Amino acid sequence: MAKLATLEDFEKASKRRFKEVPIEGFGNVRLRSLTTAEYQKIESLTVRAATMLREGKKRAEGERLLKTAKFKLIGECLVDAEGNTLGIPDAKLEAMDAAIAGAIESACLEHTGVEGLGQAAEVDEAAKN
């Protein structure tokens, strides 16, 4: 019979995972996993954005929510050597080279397991066409 999870197992699962990732044309970034609460906030923004974009209602609000979710993901995921968030202002993220920002976002999505952002972006693209 397999071992059942214990309270100690849950405590171990609350430790953050970290990963260093090279970003072409930028350098290395350090990523941190999300807590369930952080994940839920980002996922909630994404679902609301996708719903607005899919229904074609309040399109500008849906696009704003999608951008907010992406920036929140990057803001929560990118950390310094000690594991502290970098506090990158949204204006800095908006001004970044799109390929670099996209590579950072992809690395964050892969490391954290957030899936809804890609789906919301696909809905946004489909709605534009």
Domain range for 78 is: 19-128
Asked whether residue 24 is domain-assigned, the answer is yes
Mean pLDDT, all residues of the chain: 89
Asked whether residue 11 is domain-assigned, the answer is no
Q: Could you tell me the CATH number of the domain that includes residue 30?
A: 3.30.2220
Asked whether residue 4 is domain-assigned, the answer is no
Q: Identify the pLDDT of residue 121.
A: 57
* Number of domains comprising the chain: 1
User: Residue 119 pLDDT more than 90?
Assistant: no
What is the rounded average pLDDT of the residues 44-72?
89
Asked whether residue 13 is domain-assigned, the answer is no
Q: CA 74, CA 85: separation in Å to the nearest integer? A: 9
Q: Identify the pLDDT of residue 5.
A: 92
0.85 exceeded by the pTM?
no
Q: Identify the pLDDT of residue 14.
A: 85
Asked whether residue 92 is domain-assigned, the answer is yes
Task: Determine contact, residues 103/23, Cβ cutoff 8 Å.
Answer: yes
- Sheet containing 18-23: order of strands: 18-23, 27-32, 78-79
Asked whether residue 1 is domain-assigned, the answer is no
Asked whether residue 82 is domain-assigned, the answer is yes
Asked whether residue 70 is domain-assigned, the answer is yes
pLDDT, tens digit, 9 for 90 and up, residues 14-38: 899 999 999 999 999 999 999 999 9
Q: CB within 8 A of 70, min separation 6: which ones?
A: 105, 117
Q: What DSSP element (H or E) covers 8?
A: helix 7-13
Helix axes 59-77, 98-112, angle to 10 degrees: 70
Tokens of 91: 């204006």
